[in-house]
Structure formats: C-alpha cells, structure tokens
A and B are shown apart, each in its own frame.
Chain A
Amino acid sequence: DAGITQSPRYKITETGRQVTLMCHQTWSHSYMFWYRQDLGHGLRLIYYSAAADITDKGEVPDGYVVSRSKTENFPLTLESATRSQTSVYFCASSSGQGGEAFFGQGTRLTVV
C-alpha cells in the first residue's frame, strides 16, 4: 500500500530492553522525521533525516538511535528503554524542505 506505515502500532517493553520502531514510506520522500507526543508537550522532534545516510538530532534525541540506510526506511531504536520513553511515537516524511509532512499512524510504546 502506498503511504507511510509504522510498526508495531502498540508495544509494551520492559525497562532496559532494546526496542526498535519501524517506519516505511513508499513515496521516495527525501526527508523523514521522528516525533514523540506527550501530554503537555505536543509533538517534539527526536531525530530527522534529509536523505539516506544523513541523520541529525532534534529537540529530544537522548536515549534514541536512528539509521537511514535506505530512503524508504527510518527505524528508531531505544537502546535501553526507560519509563520516561513511554509515549506515542509518530514518523513523518516530506518531499522537500518545508514541504507538507505526511504522518504515520503512530506507535504507542509503554515501558514498564
């Protein structure tokens, strides 16, 4: 299916475990982004990527790692999950700088 998809949609993990959230888009958009949504904070940028093999930190990158070996995929890894990383994570993509962002359905992650 065309579009941007995230997996899994829901995930429960234990403190200290590594977990990877997947994001896949079929438009060949250059730009991809990871945001987290928390009550009282809105959407905060974790990491972004301007192209394959180019990534950069956003507002709240600590505890997260990203990679972009292929244009269509932008996985987000929590190396050692903490309870403070319980959140809803949104992946987005856009075709150009400042262009409309298209969002995935979100992944609700709970760290217990």
Chain B
Amino acid sequence: ILNVEQSPQSLHVQEGDSTNFTCSFPSSNFYALHWYRWETAKSPEALFVMTLNGDEKKKGRISATLNTKEGYSYLYIKGSQPEDSATYLCAFKNQAGTALIFGKGTTLSVSS
C-alpha cells in the first residue's frame, strides 16, 4: 500500500499570514501528484495536477511545487483569508497504479 503523508495535520493562522503544507510520497515510479481543496459539507475540488519534476503551479494566492526525485510537494498560501479555511488533500499516483491514493489532509483554519 502506497503511503502519502501530509503535515501538519492541522494549522491555525491569522488573516494575512502566509503558510505552507507538505506532502510526501514514494519517489519511485512517479506519475502524478494532485492537490485538492475540501471545504466542510462540500466535495473535494482539484487545485493542481502536477506531473513533472520541478513543476510549479499557481492559482491566485495559492501555489504548489513538486520534487519527484525526493518525493515531496509543497502547497503555499500567501496572505491567508478566512475563506481559505478548508482541508487540503494531496493525492499520488504511480505508474503501476490506476487510482489516486490520498493523504489524510491538512486542515487550515484562518481567523480574522
């Protein structure tokens, strides 16, 4: 069973703070790494899909980087807002598997 680790498990920041989370995954046979945002009472929605070592993706104040050789990805949120409060999931797929394997997520709480 593939192991996808996310840290920290939860995080509380003040409005305006910048923050980042980590996703660790097996570095061999890499295929894709996804980040999802999951708001309470909703379904997970994709933020980024990354496939190449060194990939950097950005959507507004949120960005992500990927290092497939060492098996980690960072998600950054610049100037956190209360509406950024959610659980952020990373998901990994290797070349042998068909399905995404999810980490347990990092729950972010942003207070105003």
Q: List residues of A whose CB falls within 8 A of some B CB.
A: 31, 33, 35, 40-45, 48, 50, 56, 58-59, 90, 97-106
Q: Is the CB of A42 within 8 A of B99?
A: no
Q: What is the bound-complex CA distance between A97 and B93, given in angstroms?
A: 9
Does residue B112 face the partner (Cβ distance < 8 Å to A)? no
Q: Could you jot down 18 A-B contacts, CB within 8 Å?
A: A31-B98, A33-B99, A42-B104, A43-B89, A43-B102, A45-B101, A58-B99, A90-B43, A97-B31, A97-B98, A98-B31, A98-B32, A98-B93, A99-B49, A100-B34, A100-B46, A100-B49, A103-B44
Q: Is the CB of B103 within 8 A of A101?
A: no
Q: List residues of B whose CB falls within 8 A of some A CB.
A: 1, 31-32, 34, 36, 43-46, 49, 51, 89, 91, 93, 98-105
Q: Is the CB of A41 within 8 A of B104?
A: yes
Apart from A45-B102, A59-B1, A98-B32, list 16 A-B contacts with CB within 8 A.
A31-B99, A33-B100, A42-B89, A42-B103, A42-B104, A42-B105, A43-B102, A45-B99, A45-B101, A90-B43, A98-B93, A99-B49, A100-B34, A102-B46, A103-B43, A103-B45
Residue from A40, A43, A98, A104 whose CB has the most chain B CB atoms within 10 Å: A98
Q: Is the CB of B100 within 8 A of A101?
A: yes
**Residues in B whose Cβ lies below 8 Å from that of A104:** 43
